[in-house]
Structure 1
Amino acid sequence: MDDELKAIQDDLDSVLERLASYMSSDKLYTQGIEWGEASKADAATVILNYAGNDGASYPYMHLDRAILFFRSDRAFQDSERNKQTAFHGEKIGKFIAAIKALSDGRFVPDSHDLCILSDAANDFMEGRSKWFGESLGVPTVRTLRKKDGEMAKPPLVINGYLDPLSLEKKFAARDVFYLHKKKKVPLDEAIFELVGERAGIKPGTLKAFYYSDEAKKMREMDEFISGIYGEK
């Protein structure tokens, strides 16, 4: 390694260590999220999220906001891992949680997730598994629509395996919340019919998602971020 690259490495290590130390402190309000020591890998994830934002999704993505998003998303990711392992068992549950971390744009899988996915990929590529995850005990899967929020049992591994309206329901739930809070539209059947028709979602489906734990957490995070930045 030449002197210039060594100097860059030293600067990078210094920045990551400083950021990890700051993230481990109580200098940023965390909305009650429990948070311990942050690692250099955690700091690198925050920098990746910060640097990767083009300004379109979050035009005011400063470093403090990137840390808050990371803390919230990682807490949700840990909660999801606990839920999956409690339902499916340690091996399959962690595998499913790793896939969900990889499939959700908010998350950056941690090293443990990546090791699990790497093992499953190697077994599949080397012929030790007929399908991705078989060596970890994951059965074959087929698509079946399940009720919102209902856990699926093998061979229906991940929430009925596929919810094709997942993103549409999230955007529609935010529209309902905006109309109700900002425009003072009553939170009744009419608002779910109006937004649901525009989004191509049945009013009952949208209403059920709006009152789900996932949607409630989305609203809490939106309110929290808005409060910090004084957004009206």
Structure 2
Amino acid sequence: MASEADESDGLAEGLAHATGNAAFVLSLRERGVRDTAVLRAMERVPRERFAPPGLLAYARQDIALPLACGQTMSAPSVVAAMLGALDVRPGARVLEVGTGTGYVTALLVRLGAVHVRSVERYDGLARAARQNLGRDLNDATVEVADGLAQEAVRGETFDRILINGSLEALPPHLPAALASGGRLVAGLWTGRASRLLTLARDGAAAFARTEGVVLRLGPLTPGRALAPSRTA
């Protein structure tokens, strides 16, 4: 049986964790994040679970974190803006391009996606994401492939498509893979900055396009990485 000291330590640790989560969400509110579902998901999915081991102290700060292979873990406010625009509904089938360490994948699951197919070009990052996701893999798959290639779609349709990075132009097969009523969200490089791009499919071939706020997003590189990558 656990001693009273062990129970006290456990309660203190739980309280500190809850307090830290509340402060994290409050900081996002102060930065203009208002989507209640997104905030709730970010409160329940600890970012430190997906952050590089040497940077855990910065996991609850609103900054991008460097990853292996020259990639980055986007700042929480950027992630929140993209997820708010994506408007994930319970039961949605989602294609995610750019898994990273799996943080956004876990948030998509928490938001109610019935399945997330996440595609990552770096084998090392994909392995780390699978490990980080743990039980959330029941509702997600992480594949190593070029997420920008037509082969990544495999003839499927999706309710939501999230591109975790910035592109100068969207490959046309990605919007075409949206189901009727579906949404695609990405960063669009304008030559000076990346802006939040949202495409909403209204019918068979009708798309409503919206360009929103400036985002600090890294560029997405096409192609699958040729050599196995390391995560450290």
TM-score normalised to structure 2 length: 0.39
> So what's the TM-score if we normalise by structure 1?
0.39
Larger RCO (CA under 8 A, 6+ residues apart): 2
Query: As a proportion of its length, which structure holds more strand?
Result: 2
Higher helix share: 1
| Structure number with bigger Rg | 1
